[in-house]
Amino acid sequence: MTKTLKVMLMPNNKQITKLFKCAGTARFTYNWTLWYQQTNYYFGYSFVNDIELRRILTVLKQNNPKFRWLNDYSNNIVKQAVKDACKAYVNFFKGISGYPNFKRRKKSKPSFYADTSKISFTSTHVKLEKLTASRKANKQKFNLIKLAESCKIPVNTKYSNPRITFDGLNWWISVGIECEESEEKPINHGIGIDIGIKNLAVGSDGTVYRNINKTEKVRKLKKKKRRLQRRISENI
7, exposed or middle or buried, with CB in 10 Å at 0-12, 13-18, 19+?
middle
The answer to whether position 187 is within a domain reads: no
Pairing outcome for strands 199-203 and 208-210: antiparallel
Number of domains in the chain: 2
Q: What percent of the chain has pLDDT over 90?
A: 56
**Does the reported pTM lie above 0.75?**
no
Q: What percent of the chain has pLDDT over 70?
A: 97
Q: What whole-number distance in Å separates Cα of residue 211 and Cα of residue 201?
A: 8
Averaged confidence pLDDT in the chain: 89
Does pLDDT of 135 surpass 80? no
The answer to whether position 183 is within a domain reads: no
Does pLDDT of 27 surpass 70? yes
pLDDT in tens, 146-176: 999 988 898 888 899 999 999 999 999 999 9
Q: What whole-number distance in Å separates Cα of residue 145 and Cα of residue 14?
A: 11
Q: What whole-number distance in Å separates Cα of residue 146 and Cα of residue 69?
A: 27
Task: List the one residue out of 72, 90, 185, 92 whose CA is nearest residue 132.
Answer: 72
If asked whether residues 64 and 95 sit together in one domain, one would say yes
Q: 118, 74 in Cβ contact below 8 A?
A: yes
If asked whether residues 96 and 35 sit together in one domain, one would say yes
Phi and psi torsions of 113, nearest 5°: -100, 145
If asked whether residues 197 and 112 sit together in one domain, one would say no
If asked whether residues 224 and 172 sit together in one domain, one would say no
Residues of the domain holding 229: 193-235
Does pLDDT of 138 surpass 90? no
Does pLDDT of 217 surpass 80? yes
pLDDT in tens, 87-109: 999 999 889 999 999 999 888 99
Task: List the one residue out of 5, 2, 9, 1 whose CA is nearest residue 167.
Answer: 9
